[in-house]
Amino acid sequence: MMQTKTLFQRSLLAVATAALITSLPVIAHNAEQPPMKKILRQLDLTDQQRAQVRNLMQEVRSDAQTVHQDQALIKEQLKNAIQAQNWNEEVVTALILQKQTAKEKLALTRAVSQNTLWNQLDDQQQEKFESLVDKRQKRDRNRAPLRRFEPLNLSQEQYSEIEALINRQKEQITEQQKVSKPFRKQQVELIQADDFNQQAWLASHQTMQSMQLELAVNVAHTRHKIWNILTPDQQLKMQEVAQKRQQKIEDKKRKMEQRKGRM
């Protein structure tokens, strides 16, 4: 059992790392969560396990829809603050705090679901889960963040400025990951326990959220700086690209909804 606990710990740390990076994008406002449903499809679940997964995902989906609705205004206000000509750190910090608070219930629901799910997998499924998550993490690491700017025909000066900002952001994220690692480890241990301690998990989660607030504000500031490096035409093009990306995400969600009964 010690081996499987270690495997799960590594897997969840990988997911947590990927989630931290993808939740703090430079430009994109709707980064996708790790494709847990796609991973679970490859675990050869039994009929009983599939039924349990459907119930768990339905609960998470319901909470997620509520959170997304509550955050719609916050998201729009944050986008406007990032795309403003002048930086207002006080406003951005307040909006990010609102965003964190709104997401807390969803984070807890996901943690409870992960705990339930883990206790339903056998040893082989746990090992395969780790392998699939590792592959996903490696693929995410190999993504080139500057590729999203290719449609904008950046000048060499713009490219150099944006590259420097993104590299600095990567350094900040790496530094934050080191500081947050003990808290992520603690949350993993709580999730892999037989009895899930919600109060302990929430305390750890809230501490880590407080630590990540400064990073989230810095990332928003980076996005603000990049936005103001772009010309008006490039800003318009970036908005068009973002809208197309969002449309693809929405189309993908609809397809997933159509297939949700097939697990």
pLDDT average, residue stretch 171-186: 87
Window from 54-63, 129-138, 161-170, 185-194 with minimum mean pLDDT: 129-138
**Local structure of 121: helix, strand or coil:** coil
Q: Which of 37-51, 56-70, 225-239 is predicted most confidently?
A: 225-239
Q: Is the pTM of this model over 0.85?
A: no
Q: How far apart are CA 242 and CA 31, in angstroms?
A: 11
pLDDT average, residue stretch 18-26: 37
**In the chain, domain spans:** 2-144+155-262
Window from 57-71, 137-151, 224-238 with minimum mean pLDDT: 137-151
Dihedral in degrees, nearest 10, Cα atoms 144, 146, 151, 154: -150
Q: How far apart are CA 148 and CA 233, in angstroms?
A: 16
Q: Which of 32-41, 230-239, 254-263 is predicted most confidently?
A: 230-239
Q: How far apart are CA 204 and CA 183, in angstroms?
A: 6
Count other C-beta atoms under 10 Å from residue 134's C-beta.
13
**Local structure of 85: helix, strand or coil:** coil
Instruction: Give the position of tokens 């809230």.
Output: 206
Higher-pLDDT residue of 146, 82: 82
Residue 101 makes CB contacts below 8 A (sequence gap 6+) with: none
Instruction: Give tens-digit pLDDT for 80-103.
Output: 999 999 999 999 999 999 888 888
Predicted pLDDT of residue 114: 80
Q: How many residues are recorded in the chain?
A: 263
Of 10, 187, 50, the residue nearest 115 (C-alpha): 187
**Local structure of 196: helix, strand or coil:** coil
Q: If pLDDT is split at 50, 70 and 90, which confidence band does 255 have?
A: confident
Q: If pLDDT is split at 50, 70 and 90, which confidence band does 256 have?
A: low
Higher-pLDDT residue of 36, 162: 162
Is residue 22 predicted with pLDDT exceeding 60?
no
Distance of CA 205 to the CA centre of its chain: 15
**Local structure of 219: helix, strand or coil:** helix
Residue 43's H or E segment, with its range, is none
Q: Round the average pLDDT of the chain to a whole number and report it.
A: 77
Distance of CA 252 to the CA centre of its chain: 17
Instruction: Give the position of tokens 């998201």.
Output: 75
Window from 64-73, 84-93, 148-157 with minimum mean pLDDT: 64-73
